[in-house]
Amino acid sequence: MPLATALALLLTGGASAAPLFEIAEGRAARAGADAGWARLQADPSTDAVQALRMNVAALSDDRLELPLGGQVLQVRRIREEATADGGMVWYGAEQDAAAPLAVSAQGATVPASVILVRAADGSVTGTLRHHQDRYDVRPVGAGEHALVKVNEGGLPPQHPLGMPSLPAPPPAPDAQVRSGDPGAWATIRVLVIATQGAINAYGGNMRAKAELAVAESNQGYRNGWTNIRMELADYRTTWFPDGRMGEDLGRLQNPRDGQLDEVHAVRDAVGADVVVLLTDGKDACGVGYINAPASHAFAVVGWRCATGNYTFAHEIGHVLGANHDRANASGSPYPYGHGYQFSLPSGERFRTIMSYDCPGGCTRLNTWSNPDITYGGARTGDAATADNQRVLAQRKHVVAGFR
């Protein structure tokens, strides 16, 4: 199916919207000769790619048109946020967004299906979810942008073989934290370190990619009703060579092994509760310590999986104490702390952030397992076994106090 057809949605009535981009057919052949474009097209996670002419000024509007082949997806703005480096984040949802997350006690929220970061250099980085399809908007240098339809089957497995062991005995469940009660707000600050290998392989604005990962995480916290706010404490780069993710996690965490030791001083200086290393590792999407104390609040994430696939939020979820769905978890510190897989009456299958994929595949939603939230009429958790929201409520202030 052509990329334009896959995103087709005819214009509906209402206020006029500004086109965010146009497909630059004339640029495609020229771009195809560029090494960066060739690398992008050859990546196993790329299903299709098109060159774009970006209208950055459109991000000042409340509505956007995402035109493709004479048809258009119409998106309305939900909210907007500034970034620390002078950029902004634009959160939007399709005009006729279906199946909003319904929160039984607190009301309802419409999850953002489009999140776009306008960087200080004027480039745009973003993720678009349309039904079961994922598209990435990314800068490719020299003012050029690409629209990538992502082949999620081409991504690495979620974790490397063998999860890291718990660095400390897990605490007993807190009886004072009740299911359905998100508690007071907590702010978790994250330091992102990108390897030069990841930056070279990505070819775009990696700081904007980090901002997008934080923005997606914050949208997921909203969708799951967690009362958590994530901040990008700082973004740094390193010439540390990419290796196997499990080994790199140990090197990142160890402050005295002669590898990445400087990260610990930076963490203290910027007040980061959690540290994430973005790499070009291909053996997994990511890895992190489960239910970590401050000394082990570290994770390694592959750049291909960091956004859109929600691996950035997933690995920080491990640090907070959340675990996978029951079929794919071992040694969970909380009996109710698992991700969740579920089906709608239509037969569509979904999973929450911490869940592994279903047999035969299911779409990952940017939300946390929570029995008090429904999606399309189906509950997104189980009070006894799949309530990541309760784990986050119990642990968020602990993690937010690491620095």
Domain boundary assignment for the chain = 18-154, 157-402
Q: How many whole angstroms separate alpha carbon 78 and alpha carbon 245?
A: 36
pLDDT in tens, 140-173: 888 889 999 999 999 998 887 666 655 555 555 5
- What number of residues does the chain have? 403
Q: Distance of CA 56 to CAs 3, 23, 72, 93, 134, Å?
A: 22, 14, 17, 18, 21
Which of 168-182, 248-262, 279-293, 380-394 is the least confident region? 168-182
- Higher-confidence residue of 4 and 97: namely 97
Query: What is the pLDDT, as a whole number, of residue 335?
Result: 92
Average pLDDT over residues 48-71: 86
Specify whether 315 is catalytic: yes
- 102 pLDDT exceeds 80? no
Lowest mean pLDDT among 1-5, 110-114, 215-219, 366-370: 1-5
Write out pLDDT tens, residues 229-287. Answer: 999 999 999 999 999 999 999 999 999 999 999 999 999 999 999 999 999 999 999 99
So what's the pLDDT on residue 377? 87
Residue 36 pLDDT:
76
133 has a pLDDT exceeding 90: no
- Confidence class for position 23, pLDDT limits 50, 70, 90: confident
DSSP codes joined into one string, 32-74: HTSHHHHHHHHSTTEEEEEEEEE-GGGGGSSEEEEEETTEEEE
Mean pLDDT of 374-383: 92
Among candidates 59, 56, 40, 57, which has minimal Cα distance to 48?
40
| pLDDT tens for each residue of 294-307 | 999 999 999 999 99
Q: Is the pLDDT of residue 1 over 50?
A: no
Work out the pLDDT band at 333, boundaries 50, 70, 90: confident
Q: Which position among 22, 25, 315, 348 bears the catalytic label? A: 315
CATH code for the domain defined by 157-402:
3.40.390.10
